[in-house]
Amino acid sequence: MPVERAAKIKAPTLIMDGGESAMPFMRHTADRLGKAIQNSQRRTVGGQGHDVSAKAVTPLWVEFFKG
């Protein structure tokens, strides 16, 4: 993962992973990106795997875009 490149991102960024993901590297990657990108928000979507449902992520998107 190019953390140095990610650190250059200036736009508000929402970084999410699924709390029930069968791919543990995804949480590690999301955590590293959350720390590297200054203007980011980091969320774990509880009860969801890698293929999250729209119903689960919509409230997070609404909160993020409302600012």
Question: How does pLDDT run across 20-63, given as a tens digit for each residue?
Answer: 998 889 999 999 999 999 999 999 999 999 889 999 999 999 99
**CA atoms of 9 and 40, how far apart (whole Å):** 9
> The pTM is what?
0.86
**Residue 13: is its pLDDT beyond 90?**
yes
Total domain count, the chain: 1
* Domain region containing 57: 3-66
**What DSSP designation does 54 have?**
H
Tokens for 59, please give them. Answer: 């409230």
The pLDDT of residue 1 is: 78
